[in-house]
Structure formats: C-alpha cells, structure tokens
Copies of this chain bind each other. A is one copy, B any other.
Amino acid sequence: MAFRPLHDRVLVRRVEAEEKTAGGIIIPDTAKEKPQEGEVVAVGTGARSDNGTVTPLEVKTGDRILFGKWSGTEVKVDGEDLIIMKESDILGIVG
C-alpha cells in the first residue's frame, strides 16, 4: 500500500450505491445529503493526546463504513480516486 494516513486519519475507497448487497445498505440517490458508504483501505497509527498517549483507531482495514457526505479530502493513490478523512467523520461500521 503506497500511502499511510497520519495519526487519526483513515484512507477510504468509495463504494458506489448499486454495489451494496452484502451489508444491505441501500442509499439510492447520492444527490441528497445521505451518508456515503465506503471501504477502509488504510488507517493511521491512532489519535495522539496532549501528553503523547496514542489511542488506536476503532475502524480497521477492510471495514465497510458509513461517513458524512462532505467528509475528507479527495486524492489519487496508484491512479485510484480515494478519500482521506478523520475517524471522527465516520458514523459507523456496516455488517
């Protein structure tokens, strides 16, 4: 994997609406403010507290997640369009 997110950031691949059968989450019209579904591609080492304590993230590589529509920043990694976001942008884990 050519990209390691920093601290409490997570690299996510967007899962398009029609692909969703396993998790059973259907979000027909991506136009509205509906949350988006995605898959975790890589996670940071964890959130750092003020005195240096590192707390590992709750999500793991491979998790199917729901995140807020406008979360994160788009980036191309190995030619693929992905999103870098903070774990706090993630609403929950699917399935």
A→B interface (CB under 8 Å):
2-7, 9, 11, 23-28, 33-35, 42, 44-45, 47-53, 55, 58-59, 66, 68, 73-79, 84, 87-88, 90-95
Cα of A11 to Cα of B42 in the assembled complex, Å? 25
Task: Identify which of B9, B34, B77 contacts A75 (C-beta below 8 A).
Answer: B34
User: B94 touching A2 by the CB < 8 A rule?
Assistant: yes
User: A24 touching B78 by the CB < 8 A rule?
Assistant: yes
User: Contacts A11-B92, A44-B92, A55-B51 known; A75 to B6 CB distance under 8 Å?
Assistant: no
Name the B residues within 8 Å of A49 (CB-CB). Answer: 50-52
Nearest Cβ distance between residue A59 and chain B, in whole angstroms? Answer: 7
